[in-house]
Structure 1
C-alpha cells in the first residue's frame, strides 16, 4: 500500500513538469458587441439612447455611445429595437419548492432526493430565462442539493441564475420551520437530521455554524410564526432576543449576512434590534418599526408575490386550515404595512418567495410594488442596484458598467413607463453567455 501511495505522489509531482513541456495556446477571448436601442445602465439614473456594450470574457469591458462597429472576431447582438438593462436579482426564492402546494403534497411521497434535485434544476433554468440572473435561495430541505446546484451553475454545467444559498432556515422547536402538522412517523423522519432547530442561544449558535458547514452563504432564521406553517401558532415572535442575537453575531463572525423571516411586529422589531441585515415579508409594520429599519440600515424584502399566491391557494382549498386562517389575517394589514414602509423611506430589495407561488413569474412583484405607491424606476432599482448592495456584490452585479459581470437582459417596450413589460423578457445574457435570444432559449452550453 505504501508503495502505491509513493507512486501516486511521484506521479502527481511529475505532472507539472510534463505539462510544461507541451504548453497549450491561450484560448481566444470571447468578445460580444451589443447594440442597445435604449440602455438603463444604472437603474435609478436616466437611461441612455443608442449604445454599444462590449463584453469580453464574461465581463463588461466598455459602454459606448452610438452603435460601434464590432472588431474582428467579435459577435454582434442586435438589440436596436429593445430596451436593455441589468439582469434582475430576486432576493427570496425556494428552488426545491414548486409553487403548487396541493401538487407537492400529492407527489412528494413518490420523490427521492434525486427527483427533487431535477425539479429544482428545472425551476432554476426557468427563472434564468425569465430574466433573473441572481437569486438568494432562502431555505431548502436539501441544503447539500442546493449547494451542488449552485456550484454546477457556477461551473457552467447547468443553466440557472447565480445562487446565494441559505441552507436550512433556523427555527425553534414547534416554530415556523419545524415539522408541524405531520403524523408521528413523518415528523420523526423530517427531524432525523434537524440541524436547523435550536432552543436557547448556545444551541442557536450551533445551528448557525451547522448551516455554514453545509455551505450556506447567507443565514436565514424564523423570528416569527409563518403563514405557511400548519400550526395555529400565530405570527408574532417565536424566538427570544438572545437566540436571534446569537444567530446574527455568529453569522457575522463568519462573514455571512443574516435575514429574518418575520411577520408580526414583535418578531420584526426584535430581529432588527438583534442586528439582522434584512427582513423577509414584514406583514405588521408601524411607525416605530419604520424608525427601527432606518436606524439599523436594514432592508425589507416584501415578497408580495407570495402573499398573493397564498391567498389564492387558500381560497381554492389548497392549503391546510391553520395556514389559510393566517393568510386571511395577514391579508387585512400587509398592503398598508408595505405602503407605510415604502413611503417612510425604508430600504427595499426585491424578493418574491417563489416556490410559495410559481417560479419564473418573478416580475409580477414589480406590479405589486408599484400598486402600493413605488414608482417603476424605483421598483427596478430594488431588483438591481439595491439588491446587489444588500448581497455585498455591488461591485459585480446590478449595473452595466466596465468591470461588472455581463448579466444583461432586454425587453420590448419601456419598463419605466410600463413595468409590466418585464414579464416578457426577450433576451438574457449571463456572465457573457447568451441564454435567451429573440424570446427563445438558446442551445446549451451557449457560445
Structure 2
C-alpha cells in the first residue's frame, strides 16, 4: 500500500514550524505572524451573534428517602426529603415527617446519596467550538457550575445580553474574566492598570494573569484589588510562588506552571533561581507589533501551552533534575502555611499537568473517548503521543518525576489544610482528562474523598463568597445537586457514580444526559 503523502506533507509542515520557532525565536515568529494577521483579520467575516437564552422555570419536585451529605463537615443524614421549588431548595426534612404535597413530582432517592453539584474551577469551555456539546459533557460529569478562565470583551457583552447559551442544559457560569493579561495588553505597570480598569468597566468578575514581567505582575495584583477584583493565573518566569502568595495573588493555577514551584521548594533554591532566566520567552518589543496578540492567540498559544516536550529545553530539564534531587517536604509544608495565612487558593488541574508530563501513559492511547473525537483531532493527539514517546529516556525520567513531585506537593498542601479547588483546564471532556480522572489523581496525591468533595463543592462556594447559595444542600440554596449511587465518602469512585443531575431545579438522569451527548455528537459528524 503506498504511503500517504498528504500525511507526510502535514508532518513536514509541523516539523518545519517547530524548527522555525526554535531557530527564529518568539519575536521573529510574531513579526511574521503579525504581518500576516493584518490581511487575515481584515478579510474575516463578522461573527454570527447567538440568540438570547434564559433558564426555563422548573416544576416543583420532591426527592424522598435520600442520604444528604454535607461537604462542610462530612456528616450524613439518612432518610431525608429535599423539596425544590422555583430553582431553589425550599426545605430539607426527614421523609418520615415530610408533609404530603400532591402538586410535587416525587423522585425516589432510596439507597442514593445527595451532594451539591460539582464546580469546575478552571475550564476553557467557552473557547470550545461547540459549547452546546461541552455543556452536555459537563452536566453528565455532575458539573453544574464553572469558572471560565479566559474571557474577552465579546464574551462579557454576550453574558450581559444572555447570549452564551447558558440555560438549564448548561452549567451555571460562576466567574468570567476579561482578556488574558499578556505583554500585548500589559507591557508596563501603567498598561496593566489601564487594562484592568477597562476590564472592570466591561464587567469582568476577575483578572486572569498569564505572562508579564515581574514588576507588571505585582502592579496588576494591586490594581485588581483596588478595583475589588480577584486576580488568578500563572506565574511568569521571574516570579517566585511564595512571593506571589505573599503579595496577594488570589489563586494559583497548575502550581504556577513551569519549574517555579520546584525551584522554590529546593534546599538550594537561591542557587537554582540564580541560574534561571528572568526574561520573558520573547522580547518585549515584539508586544508592540500590530496584531501580535492575535498572532499569539491564533498560532502560538497551542505550542506555548502544549506538552512539556515542546516547552522545556535542556537547560530547564537540568535545573529540574537538581530541584528534584534537593526537594524539601518541609519547604512544601512551609509554603502551605503561607497559602493558609494569605488565603491563596490552588487549582492544581492534575489531569492536565499529567497530560503534559506523562503523555506516554497508555491511557492517552486507550481512552475510549479518543474514538469519539473527529478524525483530525484523533490524528493530532496521537501524533503528540508519538512525539512524546520519542523523547530521550533520560529526559522522560525527569518529566515523569515532575508529575510525581506534583502529586507529592499537592498532597502535602492538602494535609496541611491549604485551600484547594478542583479544575480540569478543559472544555468539557478530553482524552485522559475528565472529572473522574481529576478525582482519581487528587486521590493519588493523598486527598481523601471528603477533601475532594470539598474542593469541588464547599471550597468553591467559599472562594466565590457564595456560601449562602451554593456548596451545601439546605433551604435557600440553588437547586444544583447530584444523586449518587455509591457513598462518595467511602471511595473516590463513588464521587462519579452519578445517577441524576439537577440544574436549577431541572433534573436529568445519567441516561438522559448520555442520550443528549449522543444526539449532539451525531449532529456534528
TM-score where L is the length of structure 1? 0.71
Q: Partners in 2 of 1:168 and 1:428 — Cα distance?
A: 32
Pick closer, same or farther for the CA change 1:47–1:158 going to 2, 3 Å.
closer
Q: Partners in 2 of 1:69 and 1:131 — Cα distance?
A: 29
What SS does the aligned partner of 2:435 have? Answer: coil
C-alpha contact 1:205 1:246 (8 A) present in aligned 2: yes
- Is 2:158 aligned against 1:128? no
Partner of residue 247 from structure 1, selected from 197, 220, 230: 220
Partner of residue 440 from structure 1, selected from 512, 516, 519: 512
Pick closer, same or farther for the CA change 1:409–1:36 going to 2, 3 Å.
farther
1:33-78 per-position Cα deviation (integer Å, ceiling 9, x unaligned):
1114311134433111010011121111111012535413112122
The corresponding residue for 1:41 is: 70
Unaligned runs of 5+ in 2: 1-55, 256-260, 266-330, 362-381, 517-525
Instruction: Please state how far the C-alpha of 1:395 moved relative to its aligned partner.
Output: 1.2
The corresponding residue for 1:280 is: 253
Q: Partners in 1 of 2:428 and 2:354 — Cα distance?
A: 10
What SS does the aligned partner of 2:407 have? Answer: helix
C-alpha contact 2:458 2:471 (8 A) present in aligned 1: yes
Instruction: Please state how far the C-alpha of 1:97 moved relative to its aligned partner.
Output: 5.1
Partner of residue 235 from structure 2, selected from 258, 262, 271: 262
Mapping 1:90-239, distance limit 5 Å: 90-96=120-126, 116=129, 119-140=130-151, 144-145=154-155, 148=158, 151-152=162-163, 156=167, 159-172=170-183, 197-222=185-210, 239=213
Q: Partners in 2 of 1:386 and 1:212 — Cα distance?
A: 25
Q: Partners in 1 of 2:360 and 2:199 — Cα distance?
A: 31
The corresponding residue for 1:334 is: 406
Pick closer, same or farther for the CA change 1:144–1:153 going to 2, 3 Å.
closer
Instruction: Please state how far the C-alpha of 1:29 moved relative to its aligned partner.
Output: 8.8
Instruction: Please state how far the C-alpha of 1:312 moved relative to its aligned partner.
Output: 4.6
Q: Partners in 2 of 1:143 and 1:290 — Cα distance?
A: 35
Q: Partners in 2 of 1:294 and 1:157 — Cα distance?
A: 36
What SS does the aligned partner of 2:384 have? Answer: coil
Q: Note the aligned Cα RMSD (angstroms).
A: 3.2
- Is 2:330 aligned against 1:310? no
Instruction: Please state how far the C-alpha of 1:327 moved relative to its aligned partner.
Output: 5.6
Instruction: Please state how far the C-alpha of 1:260 moved relative to its aligned partner.
Output: 2.5
Pick closer, same or farther for the CA change 1:301–1:216 going to 2, 3 Å.
same
Unaligned runs of 5+ in 1: 1-26, 99-115, 173-193, 224-237
Q: Partners in 2 of 1:153 and 1:356 — Cα distance?
A: 15
Mapping 1:343-358, distance limit 5 Å: 343-355=415-427, 358=430
Instruction: Please state how far the C-alpha of 1:215 moved relative to its aligned partner.
Output: 3.7
- Is 2:51 aligned against 1:51? no
Q: Partners in 2 of 1:254 and 1:313 — Cα distance?
A: 41
- Is 2:400 aligned against 1:426? no
The corresponding residue for 1:191 is: none
What SS does the aligned partner of 2:125 have? Answer: coil
Pick closer, same or farther for the CA change 1:263–1:401 going to 2, 3 Å.
farther
1:109-144 per-position Cα deviation (integer Å, ceiling 9, x unaligned):
xxxxxxx3xx1232123212211111111115x552
The corresponding residue for 2:461 is: 388
Pick closer, same or farther for the CA change 1:129–1:153 going to 2, 3 Å.
farther
Pick closer, same or farther for the CA change 1:144–1:243 going to 2, 3 Å.
same
1:331-374 per-position Cα deviation (integer Å, ceiling 9, x unaligned):
35322221221222211112221249729822322221121111
Instruction: Please state how far the C-alpha of 1:303 moved relative to its aligned partner.
Output: 0.9
**1 or 2, which has the higher strand percentage?**
1
Q: Partners in 2 of 1:429 and 1:399 — Cα distance?
A: 14
Pick closer, same or farther for the CA change 1:63–1:265 going to 2, 3 Å.
farther
TM-score where L is the length of structure 2? 0.61
Pick closer, same or farther for the CA change 1:443–1:217 going to 2, 3 Å.
farther
The corresponding residue for 2:347 is: 301
The corresponding residue for 2:3 is: none
Q: Partners in 2 of 1:368 and 1:383 — Cα distance?
A: 14
Pick closer, same or farther for the CA change 1:388–1:432 going to 2, 3 Å.
same
Q: Which structure's relative contact order is higher, taking Cα pairs within 8 Å and 6+ residues apart? A: 2
The corresponding residue for 1:87 is: 117
The corresponding residue for 1:65 is: 94
What SS does the aligned partner of 2:216 have? Answer: helix
**1 or 2, which has the higher helix percentage?**
2
C-alpha contact 1:309 1:357 (8 A) present in aligned 2: no
